[in-house]
Amino acid sequence: MLSRRDLLTGIGSGTSAVALQTLLAADAGDLTSAGTHFAPTATSVIFLFMSGGPSQVDMFDPKPELARLAGQDVPASLAQHVPQIKRAGLKNLMASPWDFQQHGESGLPVSSLLPETAKHIDDLCIIRSMQHRNPVHGPGECVALTGTGTGDRPSIGAWSLYGLGRETADLPAFITMNLHSDGMQYPQAAGWGAGFLPPQYQGTVVNPAKGIRDVVMPEGFSSQRRREQLAMIEAFNRRHLESLGVHPELDARIQSYEMAFRLQTAAPELFDLADESAATRQAYGLDAAPTQETGRGCLLARRMVERGVRFIQLRVGGWDAHGNIRGNHERMCQRTDRPIAALLEDLKQRGLLSSTLVVWAGEFGRTPTMEGTGKGRDHSPAGYTVWFAGGGAKGGQAIGQTDPIGYVAVERPVSPHDFHATILHALGFDASRLTWNHHGRDEVPTVFGGGCIHEVFG
């Protein structure tokens, strides 16, 4: 009888690459589910993260009072009823440059910035009362994706993967794509990190234009030769792991080698869009420069869902609009409106929207006032908008409300922890019961409180 160590050592010498493949396949699939607490309404998530702070009062939360009071300071009659407004001392209110119209059977208003997304308003569950207290981009992004401004906890993607486990062994179960950084707000790695969870739960960052790096076998290498090379690496790593005892980082590294081998087969097919019809490519905007990058990311997100990827995070940077809200948001909506609408339509036509939770959110919103002497808006985390679609979310409804000028949430305030708990609820988890023991403490995703927004699901 051979021990596992003896067997792997023998394989490392080239005696049985086939046996190694079987053993490593079991190890590579070691992202087992923590077990759902109730029947899920979604089995995968596409998180559309709009980095920089999209303006709620210019997109999904119309405020007629801003047009009436444009150029004025906040009247005392309003400030005295909303303490946060009084403390902020808001001056120089600015009307939205865009008109709002009602859409769909629900009649929910959407601004003229989003004509394509507006066609899907009956699929959207809009939350108008998101709020937190961090007005800085980097920490705000960490709050939105991990729950803390320091980003020292697992991302919502990592928690989701920990709960769900892996569906496919050939692709990473959590993939992040970062687009349009514009050299301004750089992606926060904590947003796809594993925190104190084992490293195998972190996201894999890919470039949607180039795919996963280094998946093409080097010249002179065959699959067999690569397998034998990995067998030797596996044997040495396992021997070292036995001497160390429990070591999550090294265990994750061992699994990553096997995943890398699998990706050399699966990844090229995933990123090759040749089998997509001309109509599909056009719908996503791959034929136009402004929409090409976001369109490719959204189309890949749909392909990833089809291939069993659990959590896809698509970060679209560039929404910061201090100096020119009109120019900035027209450019950003031109980049995103058509591709996101195409994603929703494509998922629905393929029967995937019902099992895929699509989330749209930024790290915060923007003020209802003009910043300085320009035509921009400042950061505002006190009351902003996010939305859900598919995955069991009841569309055609708006939850929560901001004050008459759109500065602070005054009805059904929702925290990032509530937001995360709602995502996990769709996946079948009670966030207060999804735990990981860290330094003797049973940690949960919503460490500072928070619970599911049950109205989202009707």
Q: What is the pLDDT of residues 57-93, one digit of tens each?
A: 999 999 999 999 999 999 988 888 888 898 888 999 9
Residue extents of the structural domains in the chain: 32-217+312-457
Check residue 219 and give its pLDDT: 79
**For residue 189, how many other CB atoms are within 10 A of its CB?**
14
Return the pLDDT at 26.
34
Q: How far is CA 162 from CA 194, 288, 348, 406, in A?
A: 9, 38, 27, 37
pLDDT at position 439 is 93
Q: How is 384-420 classified by DSSP, letter by letter?
A: EEEEEESTT---SEEE-EE-TTSSSEEES-B-HHHHH
**185, 51 Cβ separation under 8 angstroms:** yes
CA dihedral of residues 132, 38, 173, 422 (deg, nearest 10): -20
DSSP secondary structure string, 94-127?
A: ---SS-EEEETTTTEEEETT-HHHHTTGGGEEEE
Of 359, 404, 401, which Cα lies nearest the Cα of 384? 401
Residue 231, pLDDT score: 76
Q: Which pLDDT does position 228 carry in this prediction?
A: 76
Please name the residue that has the structure tokens 């996010």: 386
Residue among 135, 122, 146, 123 nearest 49 (CA): 146
The pLDDT of residue 262 is 66
CATH number of 32-217+312-457: 3.40.720
Low-confidence ranges of the chain (pLDDT < 50): 1-29
Q: Which long-range contacts (CB under 8 A, 24 or more apart) does 85-89 make?
A: 85/403, 85/405, 85/407, 85/408, 88/382, 88/407
pLDDT at 8: 39
